[in-house]
Structure 1
């Protein structure tokens, strides 16, 4: 990934926070059938290992888990909100007319080694944790015990667990840090005004180039 210094995000807590808030990752593998990409919701255990551990599951019918070998290197891409940035939002554009459009975004690339867990106990725990996390805000959170045990047993047999020991995290936060503060803040306000508040607030909080 092309990474100019002023867009580089190195703080582990910031990278983990993006993954936690945007858990649907694009898992890129290079297995026996060549390159493949799967979109999978991940659970992050930030406290395990030097950079954390990612856990997920895929359908047993998905060839992914059979096309990779234990310990293969993989890449998981996590992306937060992104948006088009109009040069009309920069005050400096109206003075010198020397600005062009761009696109702002925040992404984290997690590089690591994959392990496949074809084990009912492992996937049961994983699904239970994912369910508790994502059902927490519901008025009546669904839990695995709400379904007949034999049905849950059948469903668990149809999935396979994945675990990725993260070896390196690379963050790119393209938030107009290379612009004048007034241009960055004006564009942030324009985004917030059109409903892109997450990215707009991130731009507000971004500092100037290092």
Structure 2
């Protein structure tokens, strides 16, 4: 058993959901998310798509360890929109996801409990419509070797089911490999037994 978790859940593609209460319409959009800049672009795009909506509230979670999150009530009473949307993400245990709920006001005030329920219900509806997938946390390494060592390196790559992200076979061969974190020690141990090979850590996928 690993000392740490090296898998996380996210969504495969955008999805939508909605909730209605006393004339107000809450339309939820869930998106796979890579970074904070992309979140800003998606929220801006939805504001352009729904210019007459009263509020565009959102929450997101980022990184496999689920440590990065942000919420925005966009003018709704504090804690009635962004937090319930985030709670829907927490309940589904997904990360690298942006959830935006667009509200068209129906003329009747819903009150704090009503708003909290509406935003969470719309967000949950979008997540229930999503294709939730489980991914592994992977580290990326650059491996440089001679052409004569190619077969030996490729045998390790195949045996250990490692993903090749890039490769360049010139005078000296260079491959960028994506390795599941719990398998890094074993794979690098085998690679480093190949004489003259150079292995460098690139980052986390």
Higher radius of gyration, 1 or 2: 2
TM interval, short-chain normalised: under 0.3
TM-score by length of 1: 0.20
TM-score by length of 2: 0.21
Bigger strand fraction:
2
